Structure 1
């Protein structure tokens, strides 16, 4: 696997700014790794032996991009540039050590500890033999300090294994197991972001096995993975004709850093693991998940533990299905998109799609509309309010789920009878 020149978009203005500021620029990390793997990279990491802020800002101005700080104290910044329909990301940072070689030894894995000068893209600097590890499909830490310096690197390493089809080198694996408890000290937001990237991988079997065997899951509050897990294999093409809205949203941002596809995999995982409800809420809170993501995960965890026969019975109406989902506190209509991605039965995919299309007319603020209007309810039950009204609506809800009420007229009759008898 010879060294080849990486393709660096907007190379000329970067070289001009390097010369103008008399500050050499090095490409480092993922762009070179992806070049060796024959992959396209849209995230370019650039380092300099001094403060690169002036170069980053001038580069952004030249390309009408967006510049912002990642860490002002350490002088890390990012430039976002749009090229055609592609979004390019350039990260600028000063060396973290006195020399380039020392900087590379402070990085996470050898496959990411390769650099080359921007003015000679064929002269690669690889002090830790990262190219050889990539050829041998090995994930190796840069040093014994890699994980103690940033425990999140252990999760990133698992993602790399799935992403690039790597095996973890023996000593690196031992250090990962030893350092696993330290992951609990990492900010929940950072862990959540890495988990979103992890669950975006096409195959999760190897990742989740290592996640549990390493002790990383336990350190975060996940239960031990001693049960056999099945893995959600999703295909966007399959949704195109039966659930086009889900197909359209498939790779789009959905909640937090998750896409629709990756949150579906995340929810499917929680459907299978043994964890008590209060422990689940505590775990999700520690990961700083949004209310939207939390409601989705809690719903699917509850769904897996609930008799859902009613959903699949032929005589069940779509309104009854929506009411049943509402009973489980489903986030509607979003949960229907996730159900569509998860579903393997063609007939039920059609049902989820049909329910989704009904939501505009059947839902108000995510809840199923009453069969009678609020005004009519007051006319029928003028003396019913507060807790008594809440109990009445719950009774009506139950009557609908049992098939005793299905039309506005039946609902009115039920309300009248209930008020007369109470």
Structure 2
């Protein structure tokens, strides 16, 4: 367990010795970004100002501007009530292109010349302890609205059109220091909305930040509150975390602070005690290392290559590939530790957990299949396969073959360099054989030499179980011998049919 007090501190004890310089850079960068806002935004601000209302850019777009990142989302908050906001938006959009995104919560949207905005009336919130859904009431001040937000780095605003930065909770300093703090007491913030605890570890993954000690301690104390959050919302945050730039950091915090025990308990369960002779690896740390290595093997974003980053299916499979080891660990005579069939058990466990987290069926099926197949290659490393075995490997992987390639390579974490080189050479050879067979046989689209219609025609039968059995027999022959050609395939089919009939007569 990591001591929260050992984590990087907040702006009063900066995480970086050059925080002051970073803060000045952040201020300069933010001012430049805000001045570069589209003219449509400045015009919108003037319209609110002329009508006697305040308007401010708020939250993520402000944070991203300070970090030097552009943001597609333009979220605003205002002192105007929804009816007044709608009236101003109708004059701003010119053609009335506005939409109601939740008038009861004070949110409306509009677009003008491709510039989309979402505007929400200042709000205050109170929470029922049994639910994370707030009772929303409209507020009167920008500071009050900012105080209800999750973290100080998201509790900054820029008044429009004056471009004055409003930062009542020192979010700019926290951004420069790389620290996550809550605007109010973290115990209050997380007790009000437990999902913020998942957002905290997610921001660690996405931004590479550290949690302020008080923030970390509050997560640890209130971790069980995450159970009142819907599985769908937890899944959304988990996906963002795993697809972040530093997923390992976020996952380790989830485990260290107790969150994972309530929503992904299989992860901390992999922290097996090592046997006294250290004959097996730390499964938990091994899995995190495999995740890191799988990410390194992803194609560059936007490249169009296989497993383009971030590849959620590959990352989930890497994280969960050894999920079945705790359930299958056995201590044999002589101190040997085994995990027989952990890939099969793990595939079922992964499917159950992803289903519980409401992942879609396609993602769940793909991750479970990769977990099931992740050990298949190791037989090849011991003794080269026949062409038939290579064909089966490709066919079993199907459209997951590229991900299986990367998962298999990432699963090599041995410190024995000789062994690592041997495994790498063996997999290089396997991939080359797959490529050679693919060129000869279209290995990725293996089908029997005869289709179902031809099988029925030759055997004089109609649709039914026997057609499926004949198809399966021809597929096995295709796997074993490669393309047979129509003439030989027909001979083999008739021979199989006759033998089947003879067996039935016995």
TM (normalized to structure 1)? 0.78
Gaps spanning 5+ residues in structure 2: where? 1-22, 125-138, 272-283, 325-344, 410-426, 501-506
2:210 matches 1:140:
no
Counterpart pick for 1:150 among 188, 193, 200: 193
Deviations 1:112-154 (A, max 9, x none): 1112311221x32222222222232211123322223332222
Distance 1:104 1:159 in 2: 20
CA-based RMSD = 3.8
Which of 440, 454, 457 is the equivalent residue of 1:379?
457
Deviations 1:5-24 (A, max 9, x none): 24233322322331354321
Residues 47-102 of structure 1: CA deviation (Å, up to 9, x unaligned): 0123355168548835x89754443431324457786xxxx763321111332222
CA contact (8 A) 1:29 1:115 kept: yes
**Pairing 1:189–2:189 present:** no
Tell me the residue number matched to 1:256. none
Q: Distance in 1 between matches of 2:93 and 2:354?
A: 40
Task: State the partner residue of 1:338.
Answer: 403
Residue matched to 1:250: 308
- Between 1:403-412 and 1:197-206, the stretch displaced more is 403-412
Per-residue displacement from partner, 1:374-413 (whole Å, max 9, x unpaired)?
A: 2221133334853344344334434444x24642344433
Whether contact under 8 Å (1:272, 1:304) holds in the other structure is no
Question: Higher helix proportion, which one?
Answer: 2
Q: Is the 8 A contact 2:205 2:247 kept in 1?
A: yes
Pair 1:321–1:113, CA change in 2 (3 A): same
Determine if contact 2:220/2:258 at 8 Å carries over to the other structure: yes
**C-alpha distance in structure 2 between counterparts of 1:404 and 1:358, whole Å:** 13
5+ residue gaps, structure 1: 252-258
**In 2 relative to 1, CA 172–159 (structure 1 residues): closer, same or farther, beyond 3 Å?**
same
Could you tell me how far 1:361 is from its partner in structure 2?
A: 9.7
**1:107 and 2:149 matched:** yes
1:42 positional shift: 2.8
C-alpha distance in 2, partners of 1:359/1:200?
Answer: 36
Distance 1:59 1:283, change over 3 A: farther
Query: For the pair shown, which has the larger CA radius of gyration, 1 or 2?
Result: 2
Alpha-carbon deviations, 1:12-51, whole Å to 9, x = none? 2322331354321012222222233333333222101233
1:129 matched residue in structure 2: 170
Partner secondary structure for residue 26 of structure 1: strand
CA distance in 2, matches of 1:245, 1:411: 39
Q: How does 1:84-123 map to 2 (within 5 A)?
A: 90-97=117-124, 98=139, 99-121=141-163, 123=164
CA distance in 1, matches of 2:118, 2:499: 71
Quote the offset at 1:201 in angstroms.
1.8
Following the alignment from structure 1 to structure 2, what is the Cα–Cα distance between the partners of residues 358 and 287?
43
Equivalences, count: 393
- Aligned-residue offset at 1:304: 2.0
For 1:61, the equivalent position in structure 2 comes to 93
User: Aligned residue for 2:105?
Assistant: 74
TM-score by length of 2: 0.66
CA offset at residue 290 of structure 1?
A: 2.1
Deviation of 1:325 (Å): 4.9
Measure the CA separation in 2 of the matches of 1:166 and 1:346. 38
- The match for 1:14 is 44
- Partners of 2:301 and 2:490 in 1: CA distance: 40
Query: Aligned runs of 1:317-328 on 2, under 5 Å?
Result: 321=390, 323-327=392-396
Give distance in 1, aligned partners of 2:435 and 2:76. Answer: 46
Residue in structure 1 matched with residue 387 of structure 2 by the alignment: 316
